């Protein structure tokens, strides 16, 4: 079971990726996690990635792909994986496909969690984050027991800059320009499946599972 989860920032694909990974006992792989793990373990690839990140630069596609292909060699990827956050562009998708083909491998499903921009802006601007332990809440759907206070470590909850409406809109603009063409790419390959990402998390999850079972 090798799949890519697509969707705009705030579409909820990370939440679904974790559930799919647990259900199929495969790893949820995000580029952020890979960077952190390699930097923490001081690997050669991690040192290279850190050099770019420390300068505020994007890690080049070639290095990201190298890190991902190295991750695929781990024993927990034996039965597949859920890729979240990569690829983001057509060149990345093509490079990933070419690298997999060399190993007689391929992506089997591309699941697009589809949510309107207005819904995402409202959803993300309601997020509140604990900068101490990393847990997130929502002013409407996942409130803390005490207003603006983390349930786990009692730290103050904040609206992150990334979640402010003006920032979210900019991120969505970038997404539509760069990442949305991936939908056409995977559609042409016959592996794209669209899922309505609004509504109950359980319903969205069940829609995805039904696609994977078909």
CATH number at residue 126: 3.40.50.300
Has residue 58 been placed in a domain? no
> What's the pLDDT at 3?
96
Q: Does pLDDT of 45 surpass 80?
A: yes
Is-catalytic flag, 13? yes
Has residue 131 been placed in a domain? yes
- Of the two residues 168 and 186, the one the predictor is more confident about is 186
The single residue of 13, 71, 123, 128 carrying the catalytic annotation is 13
If you average pLDDT over residues 54-79, what whole number do you get? 90
Has residue 119 been placed in a domain? yes
- Residue 156 near residue 129, CB atoms below 8 Å: no
| pTM summary value | 0.82
Confidence band for 141, pLDDT divided at 50, 70 and 90: confident
The single residue of 2, 88, 135, 143 carrying the catalytic annotation is 88
Beta strands in 33-183 (DSSP E): 81-84, 109-114, 127-130, 136-138, 157-158
The single residue of 2, 135, 160, 164 carrying the catalytic annotation is 160
Is-catalytic flag, 203? no
> What's the pLDDT at 145?
94
Q: How far apart are CA 49 and CA 46, in angstroms?
A: 5
Kindly give, in sequence order, each residue whose CB lies less than 8 Å from that of residue 128, ignoring residues fewer than 6 positions away. 136, 137, 138, 139, 144, 148, 157, 158, 159
Is-catalytic flag, 19? no
Q: Domains in the chain: how many in total?
A: 1
Has residue 51 been placed in a domain? no
Has residue 84 been placed in a domain? yes
Q: Does pLDDT of 96 surpass 90?
A: yes
Is-catalytic flag, 127? yes
Range of the structural domain that residue 100 is part of: 2-27+74-213
> What's the pLDDT at 73?
93
> What's the pLDDT at 106?
95
Has residue 19 been placed in a domain? yes
Confidence band for 187, pLDDT divided at 50, 70 and 90: very high
Is-catalytic flag, 71? no
Has residue 46 been placed in a domain? no
Has residue 132 been placed in a domain? yes
Confidence band for 134, pLDDT divided at 50, 70 and 90: confident
Confidence band for 80, pLDDT divided at 50, 70 and 90: very high
- Residue 186 near residue 155, CB atoms below 8 Å: no
Looking at every residue in the chain, the average pLDDT score rounds to 91
């Amino acid at each position: 079971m090798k799949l890519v989860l697509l969707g705009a920032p705030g579409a909820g694909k990370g939440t679904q990726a974790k559930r799919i990974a647990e259900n199929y006992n495969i790893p949820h792989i995000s580029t952020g996690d890979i960077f952190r793990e390699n930097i923490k373990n001081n690997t050669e690839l991690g040192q290279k990635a850190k050099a770019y990140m420390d300068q505020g630069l994007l890690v080049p596609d070639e290095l990201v792909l190298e890190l991902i292909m190295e991750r695929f060699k781990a024993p927990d990827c034996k039965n597949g994986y859920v890729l979240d956050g990569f690829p983001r562009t057509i060149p990345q998708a093509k490079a990933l496909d070419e690298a997999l083909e060399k190993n007689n491998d391929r992506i089997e499903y591309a699941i697009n969690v589809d949510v309107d921009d207005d819904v995402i802006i409202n959803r993300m601007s309601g997020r509140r984050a604990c900068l101490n332990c990393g847990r997130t809440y929502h002013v409407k759907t996942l409130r803390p027991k005490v207003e603006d206070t983390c349930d786990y470590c009692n730290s103050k909850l904040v609206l992150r800059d990334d979640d402010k409406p003006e920032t979210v809109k900019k991120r969505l603009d970038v997404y539509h320009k760069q990442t949305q063409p991936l939908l056409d790419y995977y559609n042409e390959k016959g592996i794209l499946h669209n899922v309505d990402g609004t509504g109950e998390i359980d319903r969205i999850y069940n829609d995805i599972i039904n696609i994977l079972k078909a």
